[in-house]
Amino acid sequence: MRAAVLRAGAVETRVIGDPVPGPGQLLVRALACGICASDLHFMDHPEAGAEDDSGMSTYDQDVDIVMGHEYCAEVVGYGPGTERRIPLGTRVSSLPVLTTPGGRKIIGQNPESPGGFGEYFLLTEAAARTVVSDLPSEVVCVADAIAVGWSAAARARVTTREMALVVGCGAIGLSVIAHLRHLGRGPVIAVDFMASRRETALAMGADAVVDPAEASPFQAWRDLARAPAESAARGVGAAGLPGCVVFECVGVPGVLDSIIRGCERGTRIFSVGGPPEGERLHTLTAKRKGLNIQFGGGPSPVHWDEAFDAVCSGSLDVTPMLGRTVALDDVPAALDAARDADGPVRIVVVPG
Amino acid sequence: MRAAVLRAGAVETRVIGDPVPGPGQLLVRALACGICASDLHFMDHPEAGAEDDSGMSTYDQDVDIVMGHEYCAEVVGYGPGTERRIPLGTRVSSLPVLTTPGGRKIIGQNPESPGGFGEYFLLTEAAARTVVSDLPSEVVCVADAIAVGWSAAARARVTTREMALVVGCGAIGLSVIAHLRHLGRGPVIAVDFMASRRETALAMGADAVVDPAEASPFQAWRDLARAPAESAARGVGAAGLPGCVVFECVGVPGVLDSIIRGCERGTRIFSVGGPPEGERLHTLTAKRKGLNIQFGGGPSPVHWDEAFDAVCSGSLDVTPMLGRTVALDDVPAALDAARDADGPVRIVVVPG
């Protein structure tokens, strides 16, 4: 098959062997696959894979790896011992984890579990979800990106006495905004340096946006939180402030620490971005303020399903996030383009 | 008065002016005051005070500061506007925060709020608690140290489906252990490099102790967690593990990060120690494991009162933590001695 292959830090499109479905696995043909910041993190940080003792993410620079974990695909074959409950030709997607004889592997982050930047890849039959939708595959494939923020917003359990600040308006931040909106938890303030991303945040349901180059997001939060209508709505009185929940959705070193230094006492921080390099934190300030940091974790299967259903049914419109589509030959250039913080939230690869 | 005075990084005992009680303040005579690791953190890290924009902790190297925030004292005078509800000669203690015209100040960490390493200091009348106990002042003064761990153990809300690991057996770790025991949340595994501290941990109620130079605390936790009796008690089944709650009670860089790297997925970490220098964390590992970190915050007034009552009533026996007492002249040497991780948990200054 043809695939955009990662090898020793570089990606090139060439012919490699077709994947062969193992026990319980489906062979699928990639229809569309989004380019995610975690693809860039993975290729740029082989040491991060080495640090992962679960073995779910392994970047061996001496073998071919096909990235891509936000996919919509079509069933074209069955491995041994499959139930074959999903007919050939059906469109499917899944949480990007493949069960192999060697354990669970993140799809697109292991030699044994190639991803959607190639013509064919493998899914665990039991995990595959049928696409019940007329929406194009380029739209459906974004569901996995939505699931991360959707799950974070759900697990954060923002109460009616709290107000949220979403730092970073990439796919994760935007899906946090969309789900907070869905849950009726507003107002939501969104923060991004890029005007294009702030516009997308408004389109996805943010009530206010802040350019951190122009104003302090925390001051903007306090100003809105102190508005009489907000105080009254939360029953915190004129002198009180609602609780603050900050979603870190950037993944660049320094952002989480700047949140620690800037936020109110008692703030709950949900760190969904998380830089692969790790980060130096002012833990004394965190201690003085009594902060709580919940680190990401992937989406739970239940939240993944909810996000997938919301995208497939059209109740969550992801089109503000979509940019152009590219062919396999263009993946190396598109990966570079995806580094542009002012570009579209998602460039989608259409391998066919 | 005579006092052990911190100035420009060094402590010496000399005569300085008596403090004068302001509005709502009591003048008190120090009877006993424990030496705490946070005294050492404060004197060693002036930059940490500068980083605190609350102004509660201010290390100005050009003025005299009297440290000491774990005290038992005797009321000897009243400032203007006091209610004088506590008679002269009464023994008192309090949460170490003084309300001043310039705001709330941590006692022993500001020029305006001297602490118990001098003959006299000031308390906010409304915050002062009467000592109802026949116990010596050297015992009563440890209550404040107990309050930090007591509050952390209470706020952590360890459930019956979770098992705790306490890393570091100084005053905070030991009081976490004592309160978990009080709450009936066992078994509790305690971790310290020093045999003397591990013995004290057993005396304070730990069920098992681990020397991290000899064995992995996390493996010890897993071994105990997998014991059939523990699995059955928690209803998690033979394959499951109870939830893990780790209390970081060390305050040395690297410890929190080693917990992040060693602990189980989904672990809740309560960071009560927290190094003043801040710390570099493997946030990617924290994200992959979906960890939650609650940073200290001081004890709530309710928890401080509970800990104070437990110590004064004798229901919590702190004598395993006590070492020698020293006079004011010996404070500089005793501060150095308190750096010894194998020394007693508390050296107590008796200024009289």
Structure confidence by residue, pLDDT tens digits, A128-141: 999 999 999 999 99
Percentage of chain B beyond pLDDT 70 is 95
Cβ–Cβ contact A271 with B under 8 A: yes
The model's pLDDT over A72-130, given as tens digits with 9 standing for 90+, comes to 999 999 999 999 999 999 999 999 999 999 899 999 999 999 999 999 999 999 999 99
Q: How far does B61 lie from chain A, in Å, by closest CA? A: 20
Closest to A125 measured CA to CA, from A86, A87, A71, A160: A86
Closest to B91 measured CA to CA, from B109, B73, B107: B73
- pLDDT confidence band for A330 (50 / 70 / 90): very high
Kindly determine whether residue A287 and residue B294, on different chains, have CB atoms separated by under 8 Å: no
- pLDDT confidence band for B96 (50 / 70 / 90): very high
Kindly determine whether residue A283 and residue B275, on different chains, have CB atoms separated by under 8 Å: yes
Kindly determine whether residue A283 and residue B295, on different chains, have CB atoms separated by under 8 Å: yes
The answer to whether residues B201 and B173 touch, using CB atoms and an 8 Å cutoff, is yes
* Minimum mean pLDDT range among A144-153, A276-285, B196-205, B228-237: B228-237
* Minimum mean pLDDT range among A7-21, A125-139, B224-238: B224-238
pLDDT above 60 for A239: no
Domains of chain A are: 2-142+318-349 (3.90.180.10), 146-295 (3.40.50.720)
> Average pLDDT of chain A?
92
Name every chain B residue with its beta carbon within 8 A of the beta carbon of A295: 283, 286-287, 289-293
Of B48, B288, B296, the CB nearest to A290: B296
The ipTM assigned to this model is 0.86
Kindly determine whether residue B274 and residue A256, on different chains, have CB atoms separated by under 8 Å: no
- pLDDT confidence band for B235 (50 / 70 / 90): low
State the residue for tokens 């109110």: A264
Of A51, A266, A289, the CB nearest to B285: A51
> Average pLDDT of chain B?
92
Average pLDDT over residues B276-290: 88
The pLDDT of residue B29: 98
Kindly determine whether residue A287 and residue B271, on different chains, have CB atoms separated by under 8 Å: yes
Kindly determine whether residue B256 and residue A283, on different chains, have CB atoms separated by under 8 Å: yes
Scanning every residue of chain A, which has its alpha carbon at the shortest distance from the alpha carbon of B271? A287
Would you give the distance in Å from CA B243 to the centre of its chain?
26
The model's pLDDT over A39-73, given as tens digits with 9 standing for 90+, comes to 998 999 888 766 666 778 888 889 999 999 999 99
Q: What is the 3-state secondary structure (H, E, C) of chain A?
A: CEEEEEECCEEEEEECCCCCCCCCEEEEEEEEEECCHHHHHHHHCHHHHHCCCCCCCCCCCCCCECCCCEEEEEEEEECCCCCCCCCCCCEEECCCEEEECCEEEECCCCCCCCCCCECEEEEEHHHCEECCCCCCHHHHCCHHHHHHHHHHHHHHCCCCCEEEEEECCCHHHHHHHHHHHHCCCCCEEEECCCHHHHHHHHHCCCCEEECCCCCCHHHHHHHHHHCHHHHHHHCCCCCCCCEEEEEECCCCCCHHHHHHHHCCCCCEEEECCCCCCCEEECHHHHHHHCCEEEECCCCCHHHHHHHHHHHHHCCCCCHHHEEEEECHHHHHHHHHHCCCCCCCCEEEECCC
Kindly determine whether residue A279 and residue B280, on different chains, have CB atoms separated by under 8 Å: yes
Average pLDDT over residues A187-213: 95
Average pLDDT over residues B109-123: 97
pLDDT above 80 for B248: yes
Count the neighbouring beta carbons within 10 Å of the beta carbon of residue B162: 17
The pLDDT of residue B131: 98
